[in-house]
A and B are shown apart, each in its own frame.
Chain A
Amino acid sequence: MHDDPFIIAGTEIRSRLLLGSGGFHRLDRFEASLAASGAEIVTVALRRVEQAPGGLYDAITRGGARVLPNTAGCFSAREAVTTAQLAREAFETPWLKLEVIGDRRTLLPDGVELLKAARELVADGFIVLPYTTDDPVLARRLEDAGCAAVMPLGSPIGSGLGIRNEHNIALCREAVSVPLILDAGIGTASDAALAMELGCDAVLAATAISRARHPEAMATALRLAVDAGRLAGRAGRIPRLHHAQASTADAGLPDLEPA
């Protein structure tokens, strides 16, 4: 079955699994997981040098992937815009995973500040991929603002709760024509497959891999799940029925209890 290419802002991306580098504490383990995931896009954050051991940036480019800087830890549009400008300078890329958090406990996005920051950054030439709630109306507003993709959450960051509102993700799919990337909440392979079956173009996973007992194996599992979910979604699932529907014909059934 022919598949459409996965294109963000005119760039074809081979892998529909994006890797978040969050939660990896060892570079060798990160590199092995990157290779196993097949990811071509890897998110990174910016922190003061004494808190950030070197080598991550080189490891990503050495692994043939491109860096997608994020604005993790920003709580206002203003902070996010400055962080984005720093990231563009550091990594020589206009691509940006825009995060503006509204609540420390749940780390849920602040939709108002997010939209404001997205507009400013698009006007400044950034290719903006916003991390957002699973709200189809906000998703459309972000697309209207010129975002290159929209990244709704399945559940809170790092929670591993999977997709809590499948219906909203399906509505987000209908709401936007730019790529839809399920971000946050993935706990295991079945979550990733479900996201793809719901019509997402790609899945981003970080904690699901970095905090798995065997990160490299989970990276492989998610890669396969994303491909399987994509294929299943396009193959078309059967309708859900309340009762059984026999798959074996009644015609020709022998009478084994003669009167």
Chain B
Amino acid sequence: MEKFTTFSGIAVPLRRSNVDTDQIIPAVYLKRITKTGFEDALFASWRNDPEFVLNDPAYKHGSVLIAGPDFGTGSSREHAVWALRDYGFKAVLSSKFADIFKGNSGKQGLIAGEITDEDTQKLWDAILANPGVEITIDLVQRTATLGDLTVKFSIDEYTRWRLLEGLDDIGLTLRDESSITDFEARRPNWMPKTLPAKH
């Protein structure tokens, strides 16, 4: 994974709450077996609406999404993160993320930064006053800066460290392989086993 420190790009105001992962990427796009090429699927239903924010030329090349609370609820589909990433998004800011979405983002290098409802509104107001304006995400300082407005965002410390270092989770875990082996040796016999099939 690439290291992430700072990034600047066009800010996109998604003024909706409860943006579930079915909206981020409808199920029909989940049949693909690749991990890339999902840019066409992002917000696929909403993109048919000419009024949808990404259809506004000012935001078409957006890369930082500022959304209402409860972003990424519902299905665990990591495709939602892939679609955001493939479209070009590097960060999403919201006052509340669904847990699984937040976790998936961290694995793929997409920043899911939590900001207050008040700051969400301030950012929306600033963007709408100047559509197409750039925002700078600074993972070191945990700040988002748009013109003379700077807001703090929170992200869990471990995820931040991994993203700053560009570290792969599986590689980190395998450093503890001997502990896994020790644990396996202690597991009781009644625990479920799928093999061999008992019928």
- The answer to whether A and B assemble together is no
Seen from chain A, the residues whose Cβ lies within 8 Å of a Cβ on chain B are none
Seen from chain B, the residues whose Cβ lies within 8 Å of a Cβ on chain A are none
